Amino acid sequence: MSLIHFKNKKLKKLVHVYQLNYINGKSPGLGDFLRGSFSFMQLSKLYNLDFDIDFSNHPMSKYLENTEKNNNINYNNIELYEGINLPIENLLDFEKTIKNVNPEFINNTINWLNPKNCEVFGFMSNAYPYFNKYTEEGRNFVKSKLEPNNMMKQYIDYSLGELGLNKKGYGVIHIRTGDSHLVSNEGFTKLFLEKLKTIINSCILSERRYLIISDSNILKNMLKSYPNFYILIRDIEHLGGEHIRHTETNGIMNTLLDFYLMSYSNTIISLSVYGHVSGFSKYCSVIYGIPFKFIKI
């Protein structure tokens, strides 16, 4: 299939906007947003467009350093782009491939962008990147957009002190039990817990320290019996508009705390009930250059 030409002479810049609501849907979680950021950053390079990431209209912006609004964007008229650039049926296959260039997806995207009558176009996408390989320039750019402000930095340092951990002195085990547990605080079956503990026992080393990050505080409490596990029990919040419950509590700050604590780890082991890698931990590992291993529960 031949590629369609990008004919829009007016469009100069793509701005990937994270907020709770769009004109045609609600946002997914932060990991999905970061995945889409890398996807469209790669596309922008290909078509010589400027690219930016914008958190200014999301509640998490109060904890970030660089969150100025863009005067060229109407935040009440932001579109959610629905293509995901994944022709392969098994999502885990994406993690094994470097090249993910899907001509049909590129053509659909260019057909979507060609008629846009503006110089700066704000949108949101959770599409998979074209290349499952990330440049230092791209990683540093996303890192700069996620820079915590002074209040958040103090909270990170305070939390590390409370845990008794030093930056880069611990590994992270990130356990994704599913949105039903995060949103509804559902419990766990005995079979699930036995399976999870078998997986954990097979991949930890007794002499290493592990910070446990999970979407379930119930599960965190159950794992306190491990002597080399470090656990904070704090209310967390899904950052996507699809599942967020409260925007005025500390839940958003605590979810970002998990992300930043993970960014200071020396390895990430990601366990998930889903048939795809957790973007929350995977893209943390990508952005901050941390060794990453995924195991499906």
Say which CATH number the domain at 179 has.
Answer: 3.40.50
> Domains in the chain: how many in total?
2
54 falls within a domain: yes
Q: Are residues 246 and 136 in the same domain?
A: no
Q: Do 138 and 162 fall into the same domain?
A: no
* Residue-level pLDDT at 185: 57
pLDDT recorded at residue 247: 78
Q: What amino acid is encoded at 280 in this protein?
A: F
Question: Are both 226 and 190 inside the same structural domain?
Answer: yes
Domain end among 101, 117, 145: 145
Q: Is residue 3 part of a domain?
A: no
pLDDT of residue 184: 52
129 and 157 co-located in one domain: no
Whether residue 18 is found in the same domain as residue 87? yes
Q: Are residues 120 and 178 in the same domain?
A: no
Q: What is the pLDDT of residue 14?
A: 98
Question: What pLDDT score was predicted for residue 138?
Answer: 96
Domain, as residue range, for 161: 150-296
Whether residues 50 and 91 share a domain: the answer is: yes
Mean pLDDT split into 10-residue runs, the chain, 297 residues: 89 98 95 97 96 97 94 96 81 80 93 96 96 94 98 98 97 84 62 89 93 91 93 89 80 96 97 87 97 91
Based on the domain organization, do 157 and 236 belong to the same domain?
yes
In a shared domain, residues 101 and 192: no
- Per-residue H/E/C for 92-116: HHHHHCCECCCHHHHHHHHHHHCCC
Within-domain flag for 133? yes
Half-sphere exposure of 60 (CA within 13 A, CB side): 26
Burial of 67 (C-beta count, 10 Å sphere; 0-12/13-18/19+): middle
pTM of the complete model: 0.93
Q: Among 102, 122, 145, where does a domain finish? A: 145
